[in-house]
Amino acid sequence: MTPYKSTSIKPSEITPQEVFYNRRHFLQLATGAALAGLLPSGVLAGETLANVKKATEILPDQLTPLKDITSYNNFYEFGTAKEDPAINAGSLRTRPWTIAVEGEVNKPKVFDIEELLKLAPLEERIYRLRCVEAWSMVIPWVGYSLAELLKRVEPTGNAKFVEFISLEDPKQMPGQRSATLNWPYREGLRIDEAMQPLTLLAVGLYGEVLPNQNGAPIRLVVPWKYGFKSAKSIVKIRLVEKQPISSWMEAGPSEYGFYSNVNPAVDHPRWTQAKERRIGEFFKRPTLPFNGYADQVAQLYAGMDLTKYF
């Protein structure tokens, strides 16, 4: 297992701070001092997360502004238009929240979100996000490696794959009233992919509690795969022996494979993956194999035909 290698970012590139503070100020006003006093900190979207270790390694890429990260989302549970999640995700209740980790493990357990927030030191990870629709962002997530959680439940030798299941509740998630996908949203990784230190369980963004539209209260981030692989608002993690079928594989088996590694050489059947538009940029930029994380993850796929296992 290779250790997580972070890539350094210049302090000057970090945050459009005015956006950050304005939003926080608004939220503070909106919630009111009384309510804020009743709740533990680190609960509401927009609140600052305490004790986050700043990213040590910085990408040469400019960070995508918080406003864009929170207003341009694919989160079909809240509607299929990019603006929908920001509009509709207010109905998601992120407390109480638990994740059941079960299946091929010695110590299955239901983790409470408060426990998850303290399970391992929170660190900032600046990752590129490449959507299968050929746009991309650079996002400063906050979280810790998924491996931290998996180690605690002790996967058995039969645990070959990990399945992630998102919340299903049409009352909170109005997009689930239409059968756009087969709900609940399901995703999966091979166990070695899940244990790869880059694979992140994220609880925050720009140093703040994860906004609902970005997959609150806890989500997966697998930076070398297309965005849809990173399941949001996770309620269950199952360790299994057989390769799980994800929601997108079910929806379009010829278009969305189990691996879905970012690969400029393998096109989506209906559009090219050779280039991408970085949000905020005019000219398209070439897409990198494994989204630029090849030196950390390419060996996981040694000898595999990536055209076949797309």
Partner 1 sequence: MTLKTLNNRAMAWIKIAVFLLALIPLLKLGSGAYFDSLGANPIEKITRTTGYWALSFLLISLTVTPLRRFSGWNWLLRLRRILGLFAFFYASLHFLTYLVLDQFFDWTSIVNDIVKRPYITVGFPAFILLVPLAVTSNNRVIKLLGGKRWLLLHRAVYFCAIGGVVHYWWLVKKDHASPLTFAMLLTLLLGIRLFYWLQGLNKSGLFTVC
Interacting residues toward partner 1 by CB under 8 A: 67-68, 71-72, 76, 80-83, 132-133, 135, 178, 180-181, 251-252, 267, 270-272, 275, 277, 279-280, 282-283
Residue 261 is classified by DSSP as B
Shortest Å distance, C-beta 89 to partner 1: 16
Shortest Å distance, C-beta 281 to partner 1: 10
Compare residues 114 and 168 and give the one whose CB is closer to partner 1.
Answer: 168
Nearest in space to 109 (alpha carbons), one of 117, 101, 118, 121: 101
CA 155 to chain centre: 22
In the three-class reduction of DSSP (H, G, I as helix; E, B as strand; rest coil), residue 80 is classed as coil
Contact by Cβ (8 Å): 76, 181? yes
Pairing type for strands 98-103 and 234-240 reads parallel
Compare residues 30 and 81 and give the one whose CB is closer to partner 1.
Answer: 81
Contact by Cβ (8 Å): 123, 55? yes
Shortest Å distance, C-beta 64 to partner 1: 8
Shortest Å distance, C-beta 156 to partner 1: 35
Compare residues 20 and 144 and give the one whose CB is closer to partner 1.
Answer: 20
| Contacts with 131 (C-beta within 8 Å, 6 or more apart), sequence order | 74, 226, 227, 228
Compare residues 267 and 295 and give the one whose CB is closer to partner 1.
Answer: 267
Shortest Å distance, C-beta 180 to partner 1: 6
Contact by Cβ (8 Å): 25, 76? no
Compare residues 76 and 127 and give the one whose CB is closer to partner 1.
Answer: 76
